[in-house]
Amino acid sequence: MKSASAFPFDTKDLFKIIFAFLAFGVGWFADNQATVIAFSAMVLVWLISTLAERGEKWQWINTRAAKTILVFVVSFGLSLLFQPIVLPSFPGWTGDAGTWIPLFSGWIAALFGVVNEAVLFAMTIYNVLLAQVLEKLPAAFRLLLRRG
């Protein structure tokens, strides 16, 4: 593994960060959800390509299964950010199993309804995010191969 001194931070990197924040700010006013999804795609591409560059131990991240799982986890997190969910309150014990079991089954049904909405929204983000990540990864890996 390379030391921190092998990756020097210079003025060019500082300008890249400043311009990224400026671009993020302008995009935020235009369409904040699309901007967050696009920046998430950039971060995922950077993360996957950086980890894959680290050696044999991280080559599993370059598999399709690992990419899709990582993209779905980020998509689900973004869906919760864009559209927070409110979980139904757990039914209190009534003292009688005959009355509590229907309350519990109603709670389970409500919980699945809430989670279903979150997963549907996450799948919409997932489709956009996965397309962007898969589109940008080959170029990132070509750049890594030229460096190596």
pLDDT tens digits, 23-37: 655 555 555 777 777
Q: What is the pLDDT of residues 95-112, one digit of tens each?
A: 999 999 999 999 999 999
Question: How far, in Å, CA of 48 to CA of 42, rounded?
Answer: 10
**Which residue has better confidence, 143 or 91?**
91
Residue 2 token pair: 């390379």
Measure Cα distances from 61 to 48, 50, 64, 71, 118 in Å. 6, 10, 8, 12, 26
- Note whether 88 and 116 are within 8 A (CB): no
**Which residue has better confidence, 53 or 93?**
93
Q: What is the CA radius of gyration of the chain?
A: 21
Q: What is the pLDDT confidence band of residue 89, given thresholds at 50, 70 and 90?
A: very high
Alpha helix locations (H) across 4-63?
11-53
How many C-alpha atoms does 3 have within 13 Å on its Cβ side?
Answer: 1
Give pTM, 2 decimals.
0.65
Res 140 pLDDT > 80: no
Q: What is the pLDDT of residues 68-86, one digit of tens each?
A: 888 899 999 888 888 888 9
Average pLDDT over all residues of the chain: 78
**Which residue has better confidence, 15 or 36?**
36
